[in-house]
Structure 1
Amino acid sequence: MDTSDILKKVRRIEIKTRGLTNHVFAGEYHSAFKGRGMSFSEVREYQFGDDVRAIDWNVTARFNHPFIKVFEEERELTVMLLVDVSESSSFGTQKQRKRDLITELCAVLAFSAINNNDKVGVVFFSDGLEKYIPPKKGKSHILFIIRELLSYKPKKKGTNITETLRFFNNAAKKRSIVFVLSDFLSDSYQDALNIAAKRHDVVGMHVYDPRDKELPAVGLIQVKDAETGLQQWIDTNDKQVRDYYNQQFSQHAQYCRNAFLKSGAELISIRTDEDYVKALQTFFLNRT
């Protein structure tokens, strides 16, 4: 895509995802992700039903009438998007590629965050760290992130979730909301995920294509591993071949589910031909 095409696509994504955050997810993001604590706001006169534990005894004694302390949530949070830009994310056979879906999900989450005055940062990763965009506020920052998601060309092809989580664990100085958006075609990231989930609020977004899971019976075809470059001919009419392919996907998916469950983090699975709005709504509502 040239620059004009990228800008047009940024605009389309902005219109769609800002509409979702303003009308569909309004308030749900705020309820799902709590602030860092409560800070004192003001005092007001006691009203029937107020918690007596909130009475400000100094002000009450001064005016000879009960007053209570009012607290408000310290809202500002930092949202970090850890985005898989490996070659496997470019795969797609239905409505869109995995990377297209990941871009829209990032845009929805980012606009939801800035609507709540939160900062948003991004880590692009493949075999290791590809690009780091520090957390900032504002619409222009989010549009920059979307442009980068659309135009960035990774230097490497593979997927290394462990190194990405290690980088983030070392770089992040305060607790953040962390979304890891990937097809998770990588194993052995349990230890790094455990550490991240203890320090941060971690949510995995497992994005996959229907053909990641099942092969159609279309005869002899040549397939290529997007990350290793390995090519081979396979007979898709052979049920054993199709069963093995499905088994490999299921093993990766099960490892992913177990890893997030053991760490105390959360995981959402979203398929490229499904409506991600319903999946996000369910997730947000389940956290409230």
Structure 2
Amino acid sequence: MTAGSADLVRLEASLRTLELTVRRRLDGLLQGNHVGLLPGPGTEPGDARPYQPGDDVRRMDWSVTARTTAPHVRETVADRELETWAVVDLSRSIDYGTARTDKRHLALAGLTAVAQLTTGGGNRLGAVVANGESTQRLPARGGLAHARGLVRRVATMPPAPEGTRGDLSGALDELRRPPRRRGLVVVVSDFLGEPTWERSLRALSARHELLAIEVVDPRELELPDVGTVVLADPETGRQREVDTTPLLRREFAAAASEHRDRVATALRRCGAGHLTLRTDTDWVADIVRFAVARKHAAAPRRLA
């Protein structure tokens, strides 16, 4: 067996283990049709009901309101088939990890969870994968075999050369040309750097439900007390030797916290759900908590 074929066998075994882990732990959420990560209100018109405080005024049914002299809103019915597109950011900064796993594996885990929670029932899954040097578009198709092949294609995409900047905005714009049918867009990224992607993501929000999966390593949030170290930016190749003094560690933590707040604020402005996965926590438990919370939050709107 050659070294290349041995690597492929190990990759297939790793992806299969990852899929089984996700499926086993999310089993209770896999019943029904795409009710897991981001249940949406749907797009097909349904029944009218009396307006309640907090309802979206854009759903007002003015004909029923005029006929009954009481404000009414029009319910919507969830689409029977869901088209999901995953935008996976594999820029150089994703190849980093100091805890249980690295961010690239965590990104694949998030993608696998999306595939498990959205495939079936005529649903389709596609992906746009970008590493800063090139962008691959994997067409949206249905079936478990396609979902497995899609995750495998993402896993085998090579990293860009050192010094290559990521281009999340460009990957998001790929989904707007041509416009896609209404569906779910899942963005998997570490969202490092300036949030120049906000405008592109907000443009997608006019047509799609949005979910952002942010992958984080604890060393990106705070520096340990390790004396003098060399820090390197994988997307520019720049290096700097620093002394991890208490002052520097405090300033680093404050800057990291500010950056994450800016990312969270930008995602909220875009109307995106925000799931954070860390390399030092049980990421499956984090996905389950997020999915259950979203499901429960949506239940009153569907039952009203």
Measured against the shorter chain, the TM-score band is: 0.7 to 0.9
Does 2:187 align with 1:173?
Answer: no
Show the counterpart of 2:152: 147
1:260-271 → structure 2 map (5 Å cutoff): 260-271=267-278
Show the counterpart of 2:262: 255
What TM-score results when the alignment is normalised by the length of structure 2?
0.77
Q: What do the CA deviations read for 1:83-136 (whole angstroms, capped 9, x no partner)?
A: 110111110000000110110111111021113431011111233752110111
- Distance, in Å, in 1 between the alignment partners of 2:248 and 2:167 is 27
Show the counterpart of 1:138: 143
SS at 1:171 equivalent: coil
Q: What do the CA deviations read for 1:148-180 (whole angstroms, capped 9, x no partner)?
A: 232210335322222222222223421120111
Alpha-carbon spacing, 1:186–1:150, altered in 2? closer, same or farther (3 Å): same
Does 2:127 align with 1:122?
Answer: yes
The question of whether the paired residues in 1 share the 8 Å contact of 2:89 and 2:188 is answered with yes
The question of whether the paired residues in 2 share the 8 Å contact of 1:162 and 1:192 is answered with yes
- Distance, in Å, in 1 between the alignment partners of 2:156 and 2:271 is 34
- Distance, in Å, in 2 between the alignment partners of 1:186 and 1:280 is 25
Q: What do the CA deviations read for 1:193-228 (whole angstroms, capped 9, x no partner)?
A: 221111210111111000010110011111211111
1:160-199 → structure 2 map (5 Å cutoff): 160-187=167-194, 188-199=196-207
Show the counterpart of 1:59: none
Does 2:274 align with 1:279?
Answer: no
The question of whether the paired residues in 2 share the 8 Å contact of 1:38 and 1:73 is answered with no
User: Structure 1 vs Structure 2: percent identity of aligned residues?
Assistant: 26
Does 2:13 align with 1:8?
Answer: yes
- The amino acid that maps onto 2:283 is Y
> More deviation in 199-208 or 141-150?
141-150
- The amino acid that maps onto 1:81 is A
1:91 to 96, 116, 124: 96
- Distance, in Å, in 1 between the alignment partners of 2:167 and 2:80 is 33
Q: What do the CA deviations read for 1:261-284 (whole angstroms, capped 9, x no partner)?
A: 112222122211112233323332
Does 2:49 align with 1:77?
Answer: no
Aligned-pair distance for 1:144? 0.9
- The amino acid that maps onto 1:120 is L
Show the counterpart of 2:44: 37
The question of whether the paired residues in 1 share the 8 Å contact of 2:85 and 2:186 is answered with yes
What TM-score results when the alignment is normalised by the length of structure 1?
0.81
> More deviation in 213-222 or 259-268?
259-268
Does 2:241 align with 1:233?
Answer: yes
The question of whether the paired residues in 2 share the 8 Å contact of 1:29 and 1:284 is answered with no
- Distance, in Å, in 1 between the alignment partners of 2:260 and 2:280 is 18
SS at 1:30 equivalent: coil
- Number of residue-to-residue matches in the alignment: 256
Alpha-carbon spacing, 1:154–1:141, altered in 2? closer, same or farther (3 Å): same
- Distance, in Å, in 2 between the alignment partners of 1:186 and 1:254 is 13
Show the counterpart of 2:231: 223
- Distance, in Å, in 1 between the alignment partners of 2:78 and 2:45 is 4
- Distance, in Å, in 2 between the alignment partners of 1:16 and 1:169 is 33
Does 2:211 align with 1:206?
Answer: no
- The amino acid that maps onto 1:142 is A
- Distance, in Å, in 1 between the alignment partners of 2:182 and 2:33 is 21
Q: CA RMSD in A?
A: 2.3
- Distance, in Å, in 2 between the alignment partners of 1:73 and 1:28 is 10
> More deviation in 147-156 or 118-127?
147-156
Q: Flag the structure with larger Rg.
A: 1
- Distance, in Å, in 1 between the alignment partners of 2:270 and 2:225 is 38
Alpha-carbon spacing, 1:10–1:281, altered in 2? closer, same or farther (3 Å): closer
Aligned-pair distance for 1:243? 2.1
The question of whether the paired residues in 1 share the 8 Å contact of 2:128 and 2:174 is answered with no
SS at 2:126 equivalent: strand
- Distance, in Å, in 2 between the alignment partners of 1:30 and 1:24 is 7
- The amino acid that maps onto 2:263 is C
- Distance, in Å, in 1 between the alignment partners of 2:293 and 2:146 is 29
The question of whether the paired residues in 2 share the 8 Å contact of 1:159 and 1:185 is answered with no
